[in-house]
A and B are shown apart, each in its own frame.
Chain A
Amino acid sequence: MLTYLTLNVHKWKRRPFLFLLLVLLPLVVFLVLYPFLKSSVRDVAIPVALVDEDESQWSEIVQQRVAQDNRVRIIDMDRDKAKVAVQKGDVEAAFVLKKGFMEALRSGNISNSVKWLRTEQSELDVFVKEQIGAELMRLTLNAKAANTLQNWGADVDWEEAFQHADEYWQPNPLFQMEYIAEIPTQGKAPEVGLAPWMNVVIALFFLYAWLWFISLLNGMVQDEKAGRTARVLFLRSSLSGYYLMHFITFVVVVSTAYFLALNGLFYVTNTNEELMTAWNAWSAGVLIGTMLLTFIVFLLGKRSSKTLLVLTAFTFISFTVNILPMEILSVMDTLFPHNWITDLNPWEAGGM
């Protein structure tokens, strides 16, 4: 049974670099493109101009805390430039922390400490406004607590009182809404799924693996054309071992390339272990299942080049349907293996 594996090893060892390149290609391409991908992902964050006219400790704190959210991209600029940027639509909105911001907050006067510049097209800035508002509340309430203590004549330093009040915000805020973590009906879910861009990258890895598998099947078409299959038939009286061992060999090689790339992606994005394990298990099932179905179609399609062409076209359709935001009937969804790997993945809440 290992005969055909040995044959393929002999073939591949003639061009070891090409073979290695084919196995590592998706991983290498991903690693090369990752810095660009990362910056593209960052560009998806809401761009917001922040004008710090106060340049105080507290205005700095507000900036830092809001910038910690990956969904927001803070751009530091002066008021005039911020106004133009908002008008041009370069930024979603601008927030001006006015001169005297820190003093106003310290005295508990929260009104008019921040100016919000936006246009009718601004939509997502409300989210940033809420964040800034929350930070203002936090600072103001801390300040108010410190002021109250001082007004009562307590023997306590204002800064100390402020910091003490601030500690109540972390690690848990004073007010928490009770929530119940519901478990998805299709299985146990890790805390979060993968980012949408990662789903697209995985879909590309899957496309590569699938196409490579189909191109390996072409070797069997060539065997038939050159009379090698007939030769096997004469020497063995049956082709079942030939088909089975070629299938296993191709699955092993293609899966190696896919899982190297997939785990490379998880490694550089610091994906949690639970999600990695779940994705590896699910991917293995879908990938092997897809290759098995492809192989069956190939055999039923009389092992012809035409069948391989149709299968190749189908891989691209499957990928396209998966990445485009199309509204397709749910029954149709299940026809495409790319959807099995993402949308039907029980560990991906809602899929892509």
Chain B
Amino acid sequence: MIQLDKVSKTYKSKTVLHPVSMHIEEGKSIGIIGPNGAGKSTFLKLVASLEKPTDGTLSFNGVPYRKNVKNLRKNMGYIPQDIALYEELTVKEQISFWKRVSLEKPDPSFLKQMIQTLRLDEVYKQRVDRLSGGWRRKVNLLVGFMNNPSICLLDEPTAGIDLAAKEDILTWLQSLHDQGKTLLYISHDWYELNQLSDEYLLFAKGRPIVRATREELLREKDSIMEQYPEEKELQNILKFFK
């Protein structure tokens, strides 16, 4: 579905992502892990078409991004790490505003289902800036995916939130995966990764170093740690992987 061919990104002579070639299959749920500054967010933004690669090409269903960007974005939802909402608005106003922004009118039944699963009806009339982090993440998720995209990209969707909110979000993401949608998300949380991922994509030093299933990663874990002894953060991440 999405093909990366020697895709790299350089900012002012600093390479933040070394050439990557990869195929992301439809319906796969891929958890991206790695230390800070390893190139995970840049990779996700490139896939999301929010960044242009310095070199290489990305294509969606065989058509290069540059020729297909409208169709690509129609099929894609992206949840940034930040809360990309107008926080002065209430949840209701927020949803209503983004619905009007959207070219494709969201399916009301999908929206209703999403609101119920994420229990957003409880805070429907409250201002977003007065909600806890967990609720804000949920509203952020709802707005990002209101068009029921087939490719869901998420940059740390459950970072810094309470367990109840995390459970709601994971339940929702699991249901999306069960519907056959493609999930590509960054996380530092093994519980979340184990719940959702078919595969893990491990980043270090500006490149993906391993793409593996849970079993494969468990098998290769020690050798990776030996391969990158100076990467303390990577060591810590893998240490807790069971």
Using a CB–CB cutoff of 8 Å, the interface residues on chain A facing chain B are: 3, 6-7, 10-11, 14, 225-228, 230-237
CB of B236 to closest CB in A, whole Å: 28
B129, closest chain A residue (CB): A14
- CB within 8 Å for A237 and B89 given contacts A3-B101, A6-B97, A232-B101: no
B147 at the interface (CB under 8 A from A): yes
Chain A residues near B77 (CB, 8 Å)?
234
A–B Cβ pairs within 8 angstroms, 25 of them: A3-B101, A6-B97, A6-B100, A7-B86, A10-B93, A10-B97, A11-B88, A14-B88, A226-B85, A227-B81, A228-B85, A230-B48, A231-B78, A231-B80, A231-B84, A231-B144, A234-B73, A234-B76, A234-B77, A235-B98, A235-B102, A237-B70, A237-B73, A237-B74, A237-B103
B222 at the interface (CB under 8 A from A): no
Size of B's binding interface in residues, CB under 8 A: 31
Chain B residues near A230 (CB, 8 Å)?
48, 50, 78, 80, 84
Decide if B143 touches A231 in the complex (CB within 8 Å): yes
CB of B96 to closest CB in A, whole Å: 9
B82 at the interface (CB under 8 A from A): yes
CB of A233 to closest CB in B, whole Å: 7
Decide if B84 touches A227 in the complex (CB within 8 Å): yes
Chain B residues near A14 (CB, 8 Å)?
88, 127
A15, closest chain B residue (CB): B88
Chain A residues near B69 (CB, 8 Å)?
237
The distance in angstroms between the C-alpha atoms of A233 and B50, with both chains bound, is 9
The distance in angstroms between the C-alpha atoms of A216 and B74, with both chains bound, is 30
B83 at the interface (CB under 8 A from A): yes
The distance in angstroms between the C-alpha atoms of A3 and B96, with both chains bound, is 10
The distance in angstroms between the C-alpha atoms of A172 and B76, with both chains bound, is 83
Find residues 213-228 in chain B having any chain A CB closer than 8 Å to their own CB. none
- CB within 8 Å for A235 and B82 given contacts A3-B97, A3-B100, A10-B88: no
The distance in angstroms between the C-alpha atoms of A21 and B82, with both chains bound, is 31
Decide if B103 touches A234 in the complex (CB within 8 Å): no
The distance in angstroms between the C-alpha atoms of A233 and B144, with both chains bound, is 11
The distance in angstroms between the C-alpha atoms of A230 and B41, with both chains bound, is 14
Chain A residues near B83 (CB, 8 Å)?
226
Chain B residues near A228 (CB, 8 Å)?
84-86
B101, closest chain A residue (CB): A235
The distance in angstroms between the C-alpha atoms of A327 and B210, with both chains bound, is 68
- CB within 8 Å for A236 and B50 given contacts A7-B86, A226-B84, A231-B144: no
A219, closest chain B residue (CB): B86
Select which of B78, B89, B100 is within 8 A of A234 by beta carbon: B78
The distance in angstroms between the C-alpha atoms of A233 and B81, with both chains bound, is 17
Give the 9 A-B residue pairs with the shortest CB-CB distance, closest first.
Answer: A227-B80, A227-B84, A235-B102, A3-B100, A237-B70, A14-B88, A228-B84, A11-B88, A226-B82
The distance in angstroms between the C-alpha atoms of A75 and B85, with both chains bound, is 66
- CB within 8 Å for A235 and B147 given contacts A3-B101, A10-B88, A10-B97: yes
Centre residue among A7, A225, A230, A235 by max chain B CB count within 10 A = A235
- CB within 8 Å for A236 and B102 given contacts A3-B97, A227-B80, A230-B80: yes
Select which of A10, A226, A227, A233 is within 8 A of B73 by beta carbon: A233
The distance in angstroms between the C-alpha atoms of A231 and B84, with both chains bound, is 7
Given A227-B80, A227-B82, A230-B84, 17 more pairs with CB closer than 8 A:
A3-B97, A10-B86, A10-B88, A11-B89, A226-B82, A226-B84, A227-B84, A231-B80, A233-B73, A234-B78, A234-B144, A235-B102, A235-B104, A235-B147, A236-B102, A237-B73, A237-B103
Chain A residues near B86 (CB, 8 Å)?
7, 10-11, 228
The distance in angstroms between the C-alpha atoms of A225 and B80, with both chains bound, is 10
The distance in angstroms between the C-alpha atoms of A103 and B34, with both chains bound, is 107
CB of A16 to closest CB in B, whole Å: 12
Select which of A7, A234, A237 is within 8 A of B97 by beta carbon: A7
Select which of B82, B85, B89, B97 is within 8 A of A225 by beta carbon: B82
Find residues 59-109 in chain B having any chain A CB closer than 8 Å to their own CB. 69-70, 73-74, 76-78, 80-86, 88-89, 93, 97-98, 100-104
The distance in angstroms between the C-alpha atoms of A273 and B89, with both chains bound, is 43
Centre residue among A10, A228, A233, A234 by max chain B CB count within 10 A = A234
